[in-house]
Structure 1
Amino acid sequence: MEVPRTTQNEAETPPRGSRAWQRRQRVAHILAAAEAVFAETGFEGASMSALAAASGLPKANLHYYFGTKEALYTALLDSILDLWLSATDSIRPENDPAEALAAYVRAKMHWSRTRPFASKVFANEVLHGAPYLGSYLAGELRSLVREKSRVLEGWIAAGRMEPVDPPHLFFAIWAMTQTYADFEAQIRAVLDRPELTAQDHAQGTETVLRLVLKGCGLRFKAAASMGASMGE
């Protein structure tokens, strides 16, 4: 069953302390708690009781703000998609290809580090056939990839970067960046870490940047600390 997408975002921030502001804060709190529950149990495994317990609120409050588990889950997916779509803002015809793609990779790596549950919620949804996001994937996401692919094709035609297949470049970036959230347990095991450190994420970011930018024939400049460790 696919639920139509609705957004929790509002055009203007309500005055602090107002009812609208309090409502937005409460909704954000519920979504943050739900993100962890859905990431760990999936949609089917999550119950309104568990979601309420995670948020520290009565179950009636969740029903008041969202009505159903499906509506809460859809609102959470909306917030994740809004976050990720904003990361593509740097990919514009007038921008420098190296800087634009680097900004995109850094944004994706940042969200994998700071919002790992968000990535896992999305991954679980897709792995289960995208029952709630099917039309989004075939609609908005397809349109976005086509739009940004045209930007890359323009850069390629102008000789500003090496020829690559734009959609597959995006697929590769998604895979490389989101693995630091979706498969964190695997990375921790290989690196022998109880948890990934800021340095691990920094090294991961620099490695992904090197692969993407050099693979596109673009300049890559390692951070000073990374350059020293890599012999730059």
Structure 2
Amino acid sequence: MKLIAAAAVAAGLVVAGSASASGNLISNGSFESGTLDWTYSGSGADVPGHMAVVIPYNSSANYPGGAFGEPIPPDNAPLSGSPDPVGNNALYFVADASTESLSQTVNLNTGFYTIGFDVYVPFNGERNSGDATFDGSIAGVNLAHFSAHSVAAGQWFAFRGVVNIATAGPQTAAFTYNSGPAPAADFVVDRAYIVAGNAVPEPASWALMIVGFGAAGAMLRRRQVTATA
């Protein structure tokens, strides 16, 4: 298992402003308008019977109106860098023996951008016998790759980093879900973002985040992700 919370943290790094000071360049990054502006692709035994859908927070409804009756708490991921407020909905990846992907292309100018998203593993998905993996990347930077059975369920995790765009042009934000045999685990995603500028957490904040991941029983590997796209 590899659970990566990424940031460009280096000696002498100066945090340049706050992510909340800039607008989100990802359209509908909080999925309040369903999957509008996102492109879906899927294949496998359980697609299109199940596919990435948007579900309301704290809903006790069964799929596809909720997470199979399990209320999902609103996104409260520590150190989330999203400029978007916590809304009413989130993206739900759920399928058996399938691969699903949701992506969006954003045109970026040259310069530094702070990127990220938040992820939640439901309890009912973690308890299913079939595992699943989640991958999340933005502008060529792979911020997350982990399996549902390898992390603590019932809490939101924030993934964020910084990318240096050397050549202006289109960049892609993409989430990919790969599931095992039925019944397979599932994931909830919310508040994906790209904001102009370098707004990674200070080193002291990252130290607190590492302690939190350790207490949750999750494995954390830090890496530098100041990348050139």
TM-score normalized with structure 2 length: 0.25
Higher relative contact order (CA 8 A, sep 6+): 2
| Greater C-alpha radius of gyration | 1
Structure (1/2) with the larger helix percentage? 1
Structure (1/2) with the larger strand percentage? 2
